Structure 1
Amino acid sequence: MIETLINPADPPERQTEKLLAIAQVLMRRVEQITDDSGAAYAQFQRAAMLEDQVRERTRDLERALDLLNDSNARLAEANRATEAARQNLANAIETIQEGFALFDAQDVLVMCNSRFGMHMLDLREHLKPGLRFGDYIERVSQSRFLELPPGESAEDWAVARRRRHQDRHVIFNVRMVWDRWVQVSEHRTADGGTVILQTDVTEIIRLERSERGKMLDDQARVIRATLDHISQGVCIFDAEARLVGWNQRLGQLLTVPMARFRMGVSFDAILDRFRTDLTFGEGITEARLGDWVAGREGRGAIRFELRRGPDMIMDVFAQGMPNGGFVMSFTDVTAERAAIEALSRANETLEARVMERTLELEDALAHAERANASRSRFVAAASHDLLQPLSAAKLFISSVPEEGLGAETRAALDKAQNALLSVEGILGALLDISKLESGRAAVSVGPVRLERLLEQFHDEFGAIAAAKGLRLSVVPSRVTVTSDAAYLRRILQNLIGNAIRYTDRGRILVGVRRRGGMVRIEVRDTGPGIPETEQDNIFKEFHRLNARASASEGMGLGLAIVERACALLGHPLGLSSEIGRGTCFMVQVPLADGVAHPEGPRPAPSPRPSMQNRIVFLVENDGDLRRAMALLLEKWGVSVLDAASGEEALELIEELGILPDCFIVDFNLGAGMDGVKFLSMVQARHGAVPARIVTADHRPELRAHCAAAGVGLMMKPLDARALESFIAGLPQAG
């Protein structure tokens, strides 16, 4: 077959020659064979077909040959372009001023310029393509032109250089012999190869040295000028305790000519020079200082005192430096020590004067305390003496029968009653201020239910507010707080009364806000407001804003009592006011248990029992008050027995042979017998009898004394309603 007779690798001319030879052979065979069946003609046809195939194959081969020739031409052109590009690249890198080298991803040198490996003449013949990076580093480390760092061997340098090669970007300086420097910049390419640039930076390094030297010289001159300028003597020693620096002041302090100081002299030699003239202060010895200089005690800073002769005292401060040396400063503190001694002597004199003055102040304080106590006793006594007739006057007015009184008489009696109530309020405020200032006020802190307290305020002030055309709103609250019930009531009474007094129109709002474990009781009004400049003054005694309230309405003591009572109880007091809009006073009180008490059904008020046929024994040494109380009781249908003293009362009981339903007894009966003692004698003879002690004395000791005796207290001036409630609540006689 043609595929076996013709070799495809033969040139086309050879293949054509073979095909023609085959065709001639076939033609001869056709001519020789004669066959009646027409086989010769078939062979001819087959030969013609083969000739056509040979011709077609020949044309294909010619076209393939043309393509091959064209490809070879283009390949030759590409090779020429590549070689030109390589030559251009080589020319380009040769023109740059730095050494350049390119290693492929397998760390094999691809190309470099003639400046690569500058200053290493023994390395130039080995810098050829194919050189591995490890071999390059090994030859560099062994080069006689490389200046190795002190204490580092060639092997150490090679290991460190290979370690840096692991980074993507590296820049470092390499020192060569003859004080030359090369900066090596190594960067990784995108395909993993490495580009190395080498730049001669010798001139830059030398210029930096020169500038640094100039700077150091300038700094040295500045330091020298500074040392010579300061008032301290300074000396500097190196790590071997040799003198390397000092200033002129040092020579002046140590009285040594500057020529005697010389560079390199040892610390011991300097110390020997002054050993006979210097004396160490407390806490330091020459041996300890020597150990510190030698570094045997560490180089922490030390301070000690050094005396030169009898007159000079120097404060010495020594401190180590990072290079192992140390610096010492000497300060003349002679004048300072003399001043301290003088100050000490002055202090002794001053202490004596202070002691003398303190004794004088103590005497003055004692005198002031006695005066204050005298004033408090005077206020208490005066209030008591005033409350006696005040109580009598109130009872006299209450005892006046309403039947048959004209309108004018009734109005006059009401005005008199209101005037007495005002006087009573002023006297009560004076007593409260006296107790709070003297520190004698005693508090009894416990749980206080705000619900009942707020209801009482609504009943107490509702009518007063309505009389002025104001609306009083008291928001109920079921919380229980921790406070003193009496003082908390007095605080809120004063705040509500003050709000009503100074508000002309609008409303008064009393409410409670809970804030965590605290309760804030607020009293808001729609009054004129309080200027900010006056908000501190309103808590002063006898200070009334714009003096709007009349003397009958108060003396400006209400807010003073509020402030002192809040301070006594530890209840923060707040104030917020806006001119023309109103004022809000706030008192913060801690919650007792933080749980609101549910509203329970209130018991229906029991009918007031009749006071007819009740017998009340009055024991009162004030005749007017006794008669006023008797008139009031008799108005209620009560039978009254009265006596001016305890002894008289005891005799009357023995004479009559009957016991009253209750006793109303003044505490101060005089003649060595007080009300509690009288009731004790009655109980000893006749058993327990209901009784009340009447007094104007608000001392907590008296209250405790009566409580211990099991007797209740009624304060003067007597409240007719309280007295009526007590008598009406007595058990019926059997």
Structure 2
Amino acid sequence: MIDTLINPADPPERQTQKLLTIAQVLMRRVEQITDDSGAAYAQFQRAAMLEDQVRERTRDLERALDLLNDSNARLAEANRATEAARQNLANAIETIQEGFALFDADDVLVMCNSRFGMHMLDLRDHLKPGLTFGDYVDRVSRSRFLELPAGESPEEWAVARRRRHQDRHVIFNVRMVWDRWVQVSEHRTADGGTVILQTDVTEIIRLERSERGKMLDDQARVIRATLDHISQGVCIFDAEARLVGWNQRLGQLLTIPMARFRMGVSFDAILDRYRPDLAFGEGMTEARLGDWVEGGGARGALRFELRRGPDMIMDVFAQAMPDGGFVMSFTDVTAERAAIEALSRANETLEARVMERTLELEDALGHAERANASRSRFVAAASHDLLQPLSAAKLFISSIGDEELAPGARTALDKAQNALLSVEGILGALLDISKLESGRAAVSVGPVRLDLLLARLNDEFGPIAAARGLRLRVVPSRLSVMSDPAYLRRILQNLIGNAIRYTDAGRVLVGVRRRGGMVRIEVRDTGPGIPEEEQDNIFKEFHRLNARASASEGMGLGLAIVERACALLGHPLGLTSQIGHGTCFMVQVPMTETTAPPDGPRPSPSPRRPMQNRIVFLVENDGDLRRAMGLLLEKWGVSVLDAASGEEALDLIEELGILPDCFIVDHNLGEGMDGLRFLAEMAARHGAVPARIVTADRRPELRAACAEAGVDLMIKPLDARALESFIAGLPVSA
């Protein structure tokens, strides 16, 4: 209609003017048509919006269609690639020289090549995808091309084949008709499927069989040559006890012509033929041998002796073979038996001589042991007897101590005191050696605190080292060890004293090193050193390297005591030395975490306390020692009562009617009561009185008895300071 109103031939300006006029008319007309609520305009708006939505949905559908077309194209390409891959896989497995089959995780055949089942023509038509493994095994078991093992049915073969299928990897050979063989190799895939490979191994098995036959022939020739060259006679019987093999030596031993031997002759026939010439040895009879021969493969080996005439003895060894047969070997042992008899006769003579010599050695050993025991007893008795006058001499000298003396007399007195100390040390060492050698030494192992032990050794040897111009350094340690405290202290005393004695200048160092669960206590010096060839000799009794050392400096017993005490305690003892630089002795002791019981405070020197108004009763059967001790006590201001025996002391107390402040009692009072019995009798009559037992007896049993009685022990020779400390500590009499 607009085309009729506008003339195309009009100029543009005219056409534009007409269009503006038409638009104005239409606008007025639209404004005039209101429909009460503007429904027409609303419908126009909805139509415009609907057109926009339709256009948007159309564009979405066009994009979706494009995507669908693209996906279809890709799917088609993937299907083509999959089919190509499947065809390539089929071509690949077809080129394999072995038979190939793939079963999925459900044991269903997926694919196989043309060589799979190549020896079973009656199975080829059934080998198609979809065949289950069970059906495959059933058809194989019934195939006329499968040669089943003897005595096995198709059902039994199928059950065994399925059982093998349970393994992840299995390889076995299957025999086919016409003597052909197939090796079956079965393997599991990652997804649970199964790959089966079939390989024709007929030529390999035939070649192996041929080679085995050749090898058996060669072995038979070697065995024949061996049998003919060994010194034993050998015969071989099969499961029916028929002769199947023998050697020439057998005929020589049994004096049987070789022409008499023939294949298949029975064992009983051979035994019957030669029974008159043969005799069985002890423990073997013809019946027992017959039972063994008939025993079959379950019989064990059999050995017996066989005599041929009076001059030959043969050792027979029979052993079963796996096939039920047996082998017997005959060895001529005549010469060996004769040698054994001669040796037996010689042994009888030798045994008599050995017995005689043993008795002589036992007598000599008994004499030596008695001599050694006598020596030990003599040393102990002599030392004990020497300690009595030694103790008296020390006390006599101590009683002179503070008196005014001329310088020469004082010097002589000091030398006498030092000489007595040296004698005391030597006697103590002799007693230690005697106990260690006689085996009477008893140890009491327990925790030992090294700090207290080393501190006491430092106090003991510090002044001695200083007097010789040496520096003694004892490194403290807080460790505890398991040992006998008395023996460990004696070991270290001897090592430190030995180091000080043989060191002219420098120092002596005592220290502790921790080595795992062990503690190594070292004593180092800067002495002259010990030559390597002498390092074993220094532990011998009375052996001293330094010949200039006098008896007052020791008799060479210290290191002997150290070695024996370490062996008794199980403490390893070591030594390193360098000439001109010094020596180091090392003792290894087990470490313990257990804390040693407290040892009480270490006594410190205190000024002498007055001892007037104290009464001391001496019970001592040695007159010199009693007088020396009394003289010393009276010099200290002590009133002294004395008696030579326990009975005399009891009578004197009853007569005087007073009790002393303390008793000092010798344990060995002669044939009457000993010291402990005397103190027990005193306590029963008058109550407990402070006392000390004095003795030279160092036995642990006596120490234990005193401890049980609650009495302290003082070892001879008496130490005047210890005696003074005891008396000064007594309460003053009222």
Residue 280 in 1 paired to residue 284 in 2? no
Measured in 1, the distance between the counterparts of 2:548 and 2:414 equals: 23
User: 1:379 deviation in Å?
Assistant: 1.9
**SS at 1:315's partner residue?**
strand
Measured in 2, the distance between the counterparts of 1:489 and 1:110 equals: 92
Aligned residue in 1 for 2:470 = 469
Measured in 2, the distance between the counterparts of 1:699 and 1:328 equals: 73
In the alignment, residue 316 of structure 1 is paired with which amino acid? Answer: V
**SS at 1:612's partner residue?**
coil
In the alignment, residue 431 of structure 2 is paired with which amino acid? Answer: L
Residue 520 in 1 paired to residue 535 in 2? no
User: 1:255 deviation in Å?
Assistant: 2.2
Tell me, yes or no, if the aligned pair for 1:465 and 1:472 is still in contact at 8 Å: no
Measured in 2, the distance between the counterparts of 1:193 and 1:669 equals: 105
Measured in 2, the distance between the counterparts of 1:538 and 1:704 equals: 35
Aligned residue in 1 for 2:331 = 331
User: 1:606 deviation in Å?
Assistant: 8.9
Tell me, yes or no, if the aligned pair for 1:527 and 1:583 is still in contact at 8 Å: no
User: 1:608 deviation in Å?
Assistant: 6.1
Change (3 A) 1:197 1:393: closer
**SS at 1:236's partner residue?**
strand
**SS at 1:275's partner residue?**
helix
In the alignment, residue 521 of structure 2 is paired with which amino acid? Answer: E
What runs of 5+ residues in structure 1 fail to find an aligned partner?
A: 1-81
User: 1:472 deviation in Å?
Assistant: 2.9
Tell me, yes or no, if the aligned pair for 2:278 and 2:307 is still in contact at 8 Å: yes
Residue 508 in 1 paired to residue 514 in 2? no
Change (3 A) 1:285 1:410: same
Tell me, yes or no, if the aligned pair for 2:376 and 2:435 is still in contact at 8 Å: yes
Deviations 1:329-364 (A, max 9, x none): 222333333333343333333333333223222222
User: 1:587 deviation in Å?
Assistant: 4.3
Change (3 A) 1:388 1:185: closer
User: 1:221 deviation in Å?
Assistant: 1.9
Aligned residue in 2 for 1:358 = 358
In the alignment, residue 386 of structure 1 is paired with which amino acid? Answer: L
Change (3 A) 1:417 1:184: closer
Tell me, yes or no, if the aligned pair for 1:107 and 1:193 is still in contact at 8 Å: no
Measured in 2, the distance between the counterparts of 1:435 and 1:198 equals: 89
Residue 583 in 1 paired to residue 596 in 2? no
Aligned residue in 2 for 1:235 = 235
Measured in 1, the distance between the counterparts of 2:100 and 2:445 equals: 93
Tell me, yes or no, if the aligned pair for 1:477 and 1:512 is still in contact at 8 Å: no
Measured in 2, the distance between the counterparts of 1:188 and 1:630 equals: 109
User: 1:523 deviation in Å?
Assistant: 3.6
In the alignment, residue 487 of structure 1 is paired with which amino acid? Answer: Y
Aligned residue in 1 for 2:570 = 571
Aligned residue in 1 for 2:254 = 254
User: 1:428 deviation in Å?
Assistant: 0.8
1:531-546 residue pairs with structure 2 within 5 A? 534-545=534-545
Aligned residue in 2 for 1:16 = none
Change (3 A) 1:408 1:101: closer
Aligned residue in 2 for 1:224 = 224
User: 1:495 deviation in Å?
Assistant: 2.9
Measured in 2, the distance between the counterparts of 1:446 and 1:101 equals: 83
Deviations 1:2-35 (A, max 9, x none): xxxxxxxxxxxxxxxxxxxxxxxxxxxxxxxxxx
In the alignment, residue 248 of structure 1 is paired with which amino acid? Answer: Q
Measured in 2, the distance between the counterparts of 1:355 and 1:388 equals: 49
Change (3 A) 1:163 1:99: farther
Change (3 A) 1:262 1:394: same
1:361-376 residue pairs with structure 2 within 5 A? 361-376=361-376
Tell me, yes or no, if the aligned pair for 2:241 and 2:267 is still in contact at 8 Å: yes
**SS at 2:324's partner residue?**
coil
Residue 293 in 1 paired to residue 293 in 2? yes
Measured in 1, the distance between the counterparts of 2:487 and 2:160 equals: 87
Tell me, yes or no, if the aligned pair for 1:111 and 1:129 is still in contact at 8 Å: no
Change (3 A) 1:200 1:123: farther
Aligned residue in 2 for 1:48 = none
In the alignment, residue 719 of structure 1 is paired with which amino acid? Answer: D
User: 1:429 deviation in Å?
Assistant: 0.3
Tell me, yes or no, if the aligned pair for 2:650 and 2:682 is still in contact at 8 Å: no
Measured in 1, the distance between the counterparts of 2:262 and 2:364 equals: 70
In the alignment, residue 247 of structure 1 is paired with which amino acid? Answer: N
**SS at 2:298's partner residue?**
coil
Aligned residue in 2 for 1:6 = none
Paired residues, number: 633
Alpha-carbon RMSD across the aligned residues, in angstroms, is 5.3
What runs of 5+ residues in structure 2 fail to find an aligned partner?
A: 1-83
User: 1:662 deviation in Å?
Assistant: 4.6
User: 1:521 deviation in Å?
Assistant: 6.3
In the alignment, residue 725 of structure 2 is paired with which amino acid? Answer: S
Aligned residue in 2 for 1:264 = 264
Measured in 2, the distance between the counterparts of 1:531 and 1:653 equals: 64
**SS at 2:316's partner residue?**
strand
Aligned residue in 2 for 1:307 = 307
**SS at 1:441's partner residue?**
coil
TM-score, L = length of structure 1: 0.69
Tell me, yes or no, if the aligned pair for 2:676 and 2:706 is still in contact at 8 Å: no
**SS at 2:273's partner residue?**
helix
In the alignment, residue 539 of structure 2 is paired with which amino acid? Answer: F
TM-score, L = length of structure 2: 0.69
In the alignment, residue 260 of structure 1 is paired with which amino acid? Answer: R
Change (3 A) 1:263 1:545: farther
In the alignment, residue 275 of structure 1 is paired with which amino acid? Answer: R
Stretch deviating more after TM superposition (439-448 or 553-562): 439-448
Change (3 A) 1:157 1:544: same
Measured in 2, the distance between the counterparts of 1:380 and 1:165 equals: 90
Tell me, yes or no, if the aligned pair for 1:243 and 1:266 is still in contact at 8 Å: yes
In the alignment, residue 510 of structure 2 is paired with which amino acid? Answer: L
User: 1:223 deviation in Å?
Assistant: 1.3
User: 1:372 deviation in Å?
Assistant: 1.6
Tell me, yes or no, if the aligned pair for 1:170 and 1:185 is still in contact at 8 Å: yes
Tell me, yes or no, if the aligned pair for 2:451 and 2:476 is still in contact at 8 Å: no
In the alignment, residue 474 of structure 2 is paired with which amino acid? Answer: S
Identity %: 69
User: 1:251 deviation in Å?
Assistant: 2.0
